[in-house]
Structure 1
Amino acid sequence: MNVGIYIYDHAEVLDFSGPFEVFSTASRLSEPKGLFKVFLLAETLQPVNARGGFSVNPQYALSDHPALDVLIVAGGVHSAELHKPGVIAWVAEQARSVPLVASVCTGAFILAQAGVLDGLEVTTHWEDIADLRHDYPALTVCEGRRWVDTGKLVTSGGISAGIDMSLHLVSRLGGMALAQMTARQMEFDWSNG
């Protein structure tokens, strides 16, 4: 399964590196091995300067990437992404065809801007809940939840909650035993719920 994680300048590092670690670890532990192929996507192939000056090289650009089975949109300082018609159109297009779409933290704003969360229960970083409610009144924004799973669309709270959500996604796609082995391998105290 191809797991693409969308990143951009000022993305929160753990928002994409946490899910990347979960899926790459799960892939190593899966039987047979290689259940997931996880990679970073960005608008172009230019290096992305994430939060704190962390420079990252995406493997694929939005214009040329493998078909996705899972799309995860990272959070961070996302406001510039909301004003990129090409990015928003790409997210909306992917949400129509990709079986499972998720966001970490303020990545929910990007999904909301693309119109793919309307009418759904969602969550984001606790600090951004009021803004998400205000900016996108068609959403039901939940507080105090590590993630919200509505089936095809899954959103998580801030930063480290993306690891919990990604383990949940592994449990959906590869089984609970694989998710538990992955959490143990990562020495991560998984909040499963």
Structure 2
Amino acid sequence: MTEKPDFLPSASRRNPPRQIVFIAFDGAEPLDLTGPIGVFSRAEEQVPGTYDIRVASIDGAPIKTRSPLTLGGIEPLSGIAGNIDTLLVAGGNEQAVRRAATDPTLVAWLATHAKSARRVGSICTGAFVLGAAGLLDGRAVTTHWAAISALKEYFPQAQVEPDAIYRIDGRICTSAGVTAGIDLALALVKGDLGHAVAAAIARDLVLFLHRPGGQRQFSSTLEAQAAESDLFSELLVWMLEHPQADLSVPALADRAAMSPRNFARRFLQEVGKTPARHVLQIRLDHACRHLEKTAWTIDRVAERSGLKTADTMHRVFRQELGLTPSEYRSRFAAGS
């Protein structure tokens, strides 16, 4: 049962409840809906009268998600009336998102109702639907790490941030892949009802209230885990845990009991990137995490992450993220 915090904001000041509308479509990712809905539902349990949660699609028919799960209780867009507090668009598989983003009825409805909603956002690749409605231009946004390049290509006026778990830029809020929608929902609830309520929900769901790190650390690690062979599985974990170690090709080849030349060739085949590139991403991930979660100096972060010097770290951040380490910390540090 959800733990109730000692202090609960009065719901009497929010009459009627804030209307939270999730927009779904066939092929939607079910967790993009059920995860954030679970957060808002728990908030409603703690502070009754806070939220009126609705799920809508163009015609209101049951949603066939990208899994075997079919979702009922869907309303047609035409049935959504009254003041909309928050509009959130789910993501889904590429074909489903493409259909949604090119559906004139859906895009027109979203563009019209977004004008009066207090907040408009997306979970995962739902960002493409927001973009199609003209809502991303000039905004700092994010999406699933595998779709970052496509989002930049399709919506060049958006300020796409590849490492953010979620991004709230004024009225527009976007989240990274799938489970990051839960992080975004927790942040929105925290903004509405305060830290105590959001923290109680996070404890109930066994989640971080503020997840450590950015999605870059997950993308590089998940890419490595997706290799067809498990030849380097133990080595990849060891590398991730020892960014300060000698991670040169000769040293890694020795640990793998292979010749340097054969190691470099097989690593590229199995992992999909060169050893040097993977090492750079590991060290960058560690540096980002230290900047987000500690008050260490840049010199200390560079040393602890394996980048060795502040100058090297500054160059890598500029090259890979387009930000200085200080700029990254100011944007993504906990509590910023």
TM-score, structure 2 as length reference: 0.55
Deviation at 1:144, TM superposition (A): 1.2
Counterpart pick for 1:125 among 132, 140, 144: 144
Say yes or no: does 1:6 pair with 2:23: yes
C-alpha distance in 2, partners of 1:156/1:25? 20
- Flag the structure with more relative contact order, 1 or 2, with Cα contacts below 8 A and sequence separation at least 6: 1
Deviation at 1:51, TM superposition (A): 1.0
C-alpha distance in 2, partners of 1:26/1:186? 12
Say yes or no: does 1:116 pair with 2:149: no
1:1-193 matches, within 5 Å, as 1-30=18-47, 33-67=48-82, 68-77=84-93, 78-191=97-210
CA contact (8 A) 2:198 2:209 kept: no
**Cα distance per residue 1:55-97 (max 9 Å; x no partner):** 0114321111133111110011201012210100011011101
CA contact (8 A) 2:63 2:74 kept: no
Q: Which structure has more strand as a fraction of its residues?
A: 1
% identical aligned pairs: 35
| Code of the aligned partner of 1:142 | E
CA contact (8 A) 1:42 1:58 kept: no
| Code of the aligned partner of 2:91 | G
CA contact (8 A) 1:29 1:182 kept: no
Deviation at 1:143, TM superposition (A): 1.1
Flag structure 1 segments of 5+ consecutive residues without an equivalent: none
| Code of the aligned partner of 2:90 | A
Specify the SS of the correspondent of 1:189. Answer: coil
Specify the SS of the correspondent of 1:87. Answer: helix
Specify the SS of the correspondent of 2:59. Answer: coil
**Cα distance per residue 1:117-174 (max 9 Å; x no partner):** 1111100000000000001111111011110111211000010000000000001111
CA contact (8 A) 1:48 1:58 kept: no
Paired residues in the alignment total 191
Specify the SS of the correspondent of 1:109. Answer: helix
Q: Which structure has more helix as a fraction of its residues?
A: 2
| Code of the aligned partner of 1:122 | V
C-alpha distance in 2, partners of 1:181/1:122? 27
* RMSD after superposition: 1.2
C-alpha distance in 2, partners of 1:37/1:82? 26
| Code of the aligned partner of 1:35 | T
Q: Which is greater in Rg?
A: 2
Flag structure 2 segments of 5+ consecutive residues without an equivalent: 1-17, 212-333
TM-score, structure 1 as length reference: 0.95
C-alpha distance in 2, partners of 1:151/1:58? 31
